[in-house]
Structure 1
């Protein structure tokens, strides 16, 4: 997979600074901030961070200050001020902050998108067919335009108006989808919206895996639901997500187990059972391979950091 990266433009600098100020008002210390707008989260870091395994959901990521890097399969993606990162499908990645300081912390946001809203809006806009592209690219980095930055700032500022947010936030989120479909991210979103396209079928398979990761997986059955032969399904799945269906399921299970132990205090054995493992030793072995340390040691390290 190759990721096209456009250079940030100096004309967006003033607007980007405004976005950074808006984020900083609500994210005043290091951390990840869920907000009263369910799709929106804000993020702040005062220094570079260690690489972290995570799942990028369908959505728009923006860094208003600092720099971030994501490893998707074997490809490295960097993005910073003046750029937007669009994940067109849920993807397992390794992500970390590469540039931040106390004086200039990393300030960013993540806005999850709804695939149904994208499909519906694309149909209503009656967009011309996108230019022929080599392949569907699940992550794209593009230059932010001032209009998109402006609506992101207005969305964040709604947090100061909790009585109005339930009515206005969906309108701003709809405007963001329209602008993404009308902008340089459009070809990849149209791939996702195209009925019956391989990328749409794989996106549906990924959704099923996210909802059923604790169940046994029969790849042939998943391929049949996607109306593909098993070999074609495996090829498309790997091309789009950078991994196999079984490896994707394993990462979902291990990510969920990690969150259960970290946030709910569940012990490793119970977490393993909840996410679908029958063997505690296999769970510990695969957990160590993915996260670099046994479950208890890894969770203790995360709590200290």
Structure 2
């Protein structure tokens, strides 16, 4: 059986409803959507997304990343994006296997398989797309296939995951993976600041504090932060704030003024301006439209996206 057809068959058998589904394999999730979805905010954590069927788009800043069975996506750090399934139907649903990336395991593999010549340490964007190779797809099929043999998972899953990481490390997009594995890489220095921002997004933010956390000069910090996230630190923080405010209003029916205050805005008017700039309409109207759509089941496939963490 063709590897891609086999992966579609395995995922389709194990996920019958739309959403993100954890599995018995640690770090592995299966994702399904039977319809295209409207762009929704979500934070991509360090993950490999391998699409078996359909197509999805992730907007990071103004850059669109479209991935499908021919292209896999790597997210190297925590990034707030606008994600939408752009090709799916009930007959041919969007199906994806997601694997959390273990930097400890990656670090060990980098030590065992160094490059003949180390490339520059300046980071590229925190999201990368690369061609899905037959070898990577074959390993993904064997990993997903373990869901049919749960007694084998404890012994065999770590071996297959290690093979997948090796394929990523030795493939065309290895630069971003190697930077994830190196504790002193610019990518990981920026990742420290991102981790702090995710935990303190509703607090006042001093750039000098972020610079100190990253251990970079002020100019280098701004340059590398922009390269990784496509945003300035304040734009990044505001995206986190607005994503959480939207979630509060839609899923907890918090009013706009309270949502803005809870995510760190002192000025309701500034909150409304920023919100409308990001989501295209004032917060109260946007939340009402989304709650109405949820009530009618129109956002059934995107409900899991109302979160500051995926």
TM norm structure 1:
0.83
Contact 1:53–1:291 (CA under 8 A) maintained in structure 2: no
**Distance change >3 Å, CA 216–CA 124, structure 1 → 2:** farther
Highest RCO, 1 vs 2 (Cα 8 Å, sep ≥ 6): 2
Q: Is 1:258 matched with 2:249?
A: no
Partner of 1:202: 190
Cα distance in 2, alignment partners of residues 214 and 195 from structure 1: 28
- Computed over aligned residues only, the root mean square deviation of the Cα atoms, in angstroms, reads 2.8
Partner of 2:233: 245
Equivalent of 2:70 in 75, 82, 101: 82
1:219-276 residue CA offsets vs partner (Å, 9 max, x unmatched): 1111122222223211211121100111111111222333344455555555444433
TM norm structure 2:
0.81
Q: Is 1:115 matched with 2:106?
A: no
Partner of 1:300: 291
Partner of 1:174: 162
Cα distance in 2, alignment partners of residues 77 and 290 from structure 1: 18
SS at match of 1:107: strand
Structure 1's unaligned 5+ residue stretches are 1-12
**Distance change >3 Å, CA 173–CA 269, structure 1 → 2:** farther
Please report how far the alpha carbon of residue 298 of structure 1 lies from its aligned counterpart in structure 2 after TM superposition: 4.8
Contact 2:3–2:138 (CA under 8 A) maintained in structure 1: yes
Equivalent of 1:188 in 168, 176, 179: 176
Cα distance in 1, alignment partners of residues 145 and 293 from structure 2: 31
Runs of 4+ in 1 over 6 A off after TM superposition: none
Partner of 1:227: 215
Cα distance in 2, alignment partners of residues 135 and 80 from structure 1: 24
Contact 2:250–2:288 (CA under 8 A) maintained in structure 1: no
Equivalent of 1:143 in 95, 107, 131: 131
Q: How many pairs were matched up?
A: 293
Cα distance in 2, alignment partners of residues 264 and 34 from structure 1: 24
**Distance change >3 Å, CA 258–CA 69, structure 1 → 2:** same
Please report how far the alpha carbon of residue 65 of structure 1 lies from its aligned counterpart in structure 2 after TM superposition: 1.2
**Distance change >3 Å, CA 176–CA 260, structure 1 → 2:** farther
